[in-house]
Amino acid sequence: MARRKVAETTPMSDRVAVYPGTFDPITAGHMDIISRAERFADRLIVAVAANAGKGPLFSLDERVAMVTEELAGFSTVEVRPFGTLLVDFVAECGAHIIVRGLRAVSDFEYEFQMAGMNARLAPEIETVFLMASERCQFISSRFVKEIGRLGGDIAPFVSPAVHARLRAKF
């Protein structure tokens, strides 16, 4: 298997990280990880996965727009859609770090396997895990959508703009 070459357009001194996800929708938990990951990266790319297999509520364009709106105040963060192999996308961005958030021990097994596979595919790319803050450990997009679909109060888990988008969908 040929090794992928890290993009040469970004100097090695720049710490570029990619935080991938479906963001269907972006929640307070995602925002927590983004704000914390931004501290150790010179540039953070929030990568919105096409991921049609998950059957997202929002289209890729809607999710990119929603995430872009939520991150308008972050000067070192950019939003990009992707539909390729994650390590290929990371290399294309000139990044060397994948950021993944962990809410509970149940997340770890899947994330550990994915990090191991990515390390085999692209050993020059590191995966960094950030534990969710205590106030966000229980928040997931899936639960937010389910609560919202059933008429429950989702305001504590998403921004007012995302809340409005969810209400419009339901």
User: If you count them, how many residues does the chain have?
Assistant: 170
Backbone φ and ψ for 80, nearest 5 degrees, come out as: -140, 140
Partner residues linked to 150 by β-bridges: none
Decide: 71 and 38 in contact? Cβ < 8 Å: no
Q: Which are the contacts of 41, defined by CB distance < 8 A and separation ≥ 6?
A: 15, 16, 17, 76, 97, 99
Torsion of CA 167, 35, 83, 72, to 10 degrees: 60
Name residue 159's amino acid: S
Query: Which of the residues are catalytic?
Result: 30, 54, 103, 141
Tokens of 79: 């939003």
Q: In what order do the strands lie in the sheet with 43-49?
A: 77-82, 43-49, 16-21, 97-102, 126-131
Cis peptide before 25 (omega within 30 of 0): yes
